[in-house]
Amino acid sequence: YNEYKSYLRKSMYHNLTYIYQDLVASSKAFINNPITIVLPVSNPELSLIGALLWLLVISAVFCWMMSIITDNLSQIDRIWSILPPLYSWIITIHEGRSRGFDKITTLIGMSIVASVWGARLTYQFIKKDGYTLAGEDYRWKYIKEEFRRRRCNRILYQLFNLFFIVIYQSVLLLMLVMPQLVLAGQTHLTLTPTDYLLLGFYLLLVLIESIADHQQQEFQHHKYAALRNGIPLRGHFKDGFLQSGLFAYCRHPNYVCEVLLWWVFGGMSVTRVGVTWSLVGAFNLATLFTGSQEITEQISCRKYPMYRKYQATVPSFIPNVQVLRLSILSDGRYTVTSDNKISKQNN
């Protein structure tokens, strides 16, 4: 046991030393030729880990400075869908140039699905005016109100912004593609039937997440259109929030898909090297979304009196299998009553 602990300490020290030396070497290369940061893989002196770390540092500093200048905490949200695909392609191009792209088809497949995810999320963010100067996620506005309500020191607010929003989430975006970094050191990286299955499942989760987002947007569009035209709201529109479609089975189907697809992404490395630290990104994302979900629901409970009933009858993440099964077997609509029993809703 003592020998095993000694081995772990030496291994951790070796890894930290390697990363430090890598970053120092990358810093020197960057100082000598700053333009390489635009495409880090083009400079052979700039190692793969160094390139990723430099991109992380520059994006984090940019987000932090912009958040201070604009007092808008959504800066990290604007690069959320951009950085992981960029990190992914840097890893893939780096390995492809050194080993040949025909020998790393697994990494190419991972970069393609990550790009599909990023393109979809970027498009959604554009639709919600997220890239405008005034565009800020309503949850950050809630957080700022809480800081003001509790009369917290401005320094404490900026420390929260720096360490939790900027640094932690910037590191998290890099951790999401750690499975690819782990695979970069493997010899056999051509696509296998298991890889095709996992990549297909990843894309399926992206599709389901897209459907959930579309259903939510359509509901909000029709609700606010009715309010603008003075049309009385009825049913779920009167309640104020969506309770049908995928949202009849769990309260956050888009969160479920978002978290699951990164576990599937991590599965690409698990099938080759087993469970490693590469899954830390998916784990941290699940933790972050759990906290985000609690804030979202606090806001919803304040806005919509009927939301607590919805909480009591519909699970947060794990879908209600009984409702799902009945919906598949019949074209009738089913709802969950307050005593958690299934009842058919007549048309």
pLDDT tens-place string over residues 43-102: 444 578 888 998 999 999 999 999 999 888 899 999 999 999 999 999 999 999 888 999
Tokens of 165: 């929003």
Q: Are 310 and 249 in contact (CB under 8 A)?
A: no
**pLDDT at position 6:** 56
Query: In this prediction, what percent of the chain has a pLDDT beyond 70?
Result: 79
Alpha carbons 139 and 144: distance in angstroms, whole number: 9
**pLDDT at position 83:** 96
With both helix axes pointing from N to C terminus, report the angle between 193-228 and 253-273 in degrees, rounded to the nearest 10: 170
Give the three-state DSSP class for 314: coil
Alpha carbons 158 and 69: distance in angstroms, whole number: 12
Q: Are 139 and 292 in contact (CB under 8 A)?
A: yes
Alpha carbons 110 and 190: distance in angstroms, whole number: 12
pLDDT tens-place string over residues 194-245: 999 999 999 999 999 999 999 999 999 999 999 999 888 888 889 999 998 9
What are the DSSP calls for 93-136, one per residue?
HHHHHHH-GGG-HHHHHHHHHHHHHHHHHHHHHHHTTTTSTT--
Provide the 10 A C-beta neighbour count for residue 114.
25
Q: Sign of the C-alpha dihedral, residues 151, 155, 158, 159?
A: negative
Find the DSSP H helices in the chain: 2-32, 48-70, 75-79, 83-99, 105-127, 138-149, 154-160, 169-175, 178-183, 193-228, 235-239, 253-273, 280-303, 307-313, 321-329
Q: Are 54 and 40 in contact (CB under 8 A)?
A: yes
Confidence of residue 322 (pLDDT cuts 50, 70, 90): low
**pLDDT at position 32:** 52
Tokens of 29: 């290369």
Q: Is the pLDDT of residue 336 over 50?
A: no
